[in-house]
Structure 1
Amino acid sequence: MPDSSAFDDFIAALPAERQPIAAHVWQLVRRAVPPGYTEHIGPKYLEFRAGPDMYVGLANQKGHLSLHLVPMYLMPALQEQLAAAAPKLKMGKGCVNFKRMEELPQEALRELLAATPPAEYAARLQAVRSASRKKD
């Protein structure tokens, strides 16, 4: 786990109204992510990775926070489950955009994050990459 000062610095750099929301969401992520992923804190993202590959990341965007959920991109059924839990949630193929905590279906997020152990995630990611190369 990165030192807490890096996390505190990341949160402090956010607009004041987003700081408690981002901190709360990231604590939810920390509790839900299966063991074996590593946490990284950079200037633009809070991330959990499987090796060099992002599993989940939190970023501050111009008008919202964005939770990047790569498993949702790799496994569309997870996106469908999240959409069913919160039909009005602003989602892309692999991200959820939000301004308030109330917008997020917290239990559905926990389930999505906990669903894929690192070895399974790495295997799925490799399979997608291999399939993509074969198309080229």
Structure 2
Amino acid sequence: MHTELNVEKPATPQAYLDSLPAERKAVLEKLRSVILENLPDGFEETISYGMLGYVVPHKLYPAGYHVNPKEPLPFISLASQKNYIALYHMGIYAFPELQAWFAAEYAARVKSKLDMGKSCIRFKKMDDIPYELVAELCRKITVEDYISKYEDHEVSKSK
């Protein structure tokens, strides 16, 4: 029988970082700084789904996330997983041209092969994280562009 441990989830971004081993904390702090310095106005940092989250707050998008309207609309999440650092970027999922751009730029700048799912970029080698490319990725989509694309997708899904 598997019993879940009663582990408290961090309530703030700093508490999340403080819960990590030193080597992971340093990498996530650097990624966090890159994201915060390059994310367009309007997005807010929070804890979202147990990770560092960068969301469209309810004050800008009152409808929230369709899966759970009480949650703000997620855009980027950052997490320390067992075998890698995960950067979840919903813009890569929503904008195919952005995904193509990112894949091409990653291949041109990083020696290791890109390990990516629909919205998840997995960094297994901490020394190979392309921080400047992440910065450029963060600057590519405004809050307004993201909301518009999200609403287009939700409307087309409901037809």
- Number of the residue aligned with 2:56: 50
Aligned AA (1:86): Y
1:109 Cα shift? Answer: 1.8
Aligned pair partner of 2:106 in 86, 99, 103: 86
Q: Cα deviation per residue 1:99-124 (whole Å; 9 max; x = unaligned)?
A: 34432332322222111111111110
Q: TM-score, normalised by structure 1?
A: 0.86
**Could you list the per-position Cα deviations for residues 71-113 of structure 1 after superposition, in whole angstroms to 9, with x for gaps in the alignment?**
0000011111111122312111111111344323323222221
Q: Secondary structure at the match of 1:19?
A: helix
Q: Is the 8 A contact 2:86 2:121 kept in 1?
A: yes
**What residue number does 1:114 align with?**
139
The partner residue of 1:66 within 80, 86, 109 is 86
Note the aligned Cα RMSD (angstroms): 1.8
Distance 1:57 1:38 in 2: 11
Decide which structure has greater helix share. Answer: 1
Report the number of matched residues.
Answer: 130
SS of residue matched to 2:75: strand
Could you tell me which residue of structure 1 aligns to residue 60 of structure 2? none
Distance (whole Å) between structure 1 residues aligned to residue 48 and residue 141 of structure 2: 23
Cα deviation, residue 10, structure 1: 0.9
CA distance in 1, matches of 2:54, 2:88: 10
**2:127 alignment partner, one of 99, 102, 109:** 102
Q: Gapped runs of 5+ residues in structure 1?
A: none
Please tell me whether Structure 1 or Structure 2 has the larger radius of gyration of its CA atoms: 2
Question: Structure 1 13/113 Cα, relative in aligned 2: closer, same or farther at 3 Å?
Answer: same
Over 4 Å off, 4+ runs: none
- SS of residue in 1 equivalent to 2:146: helix
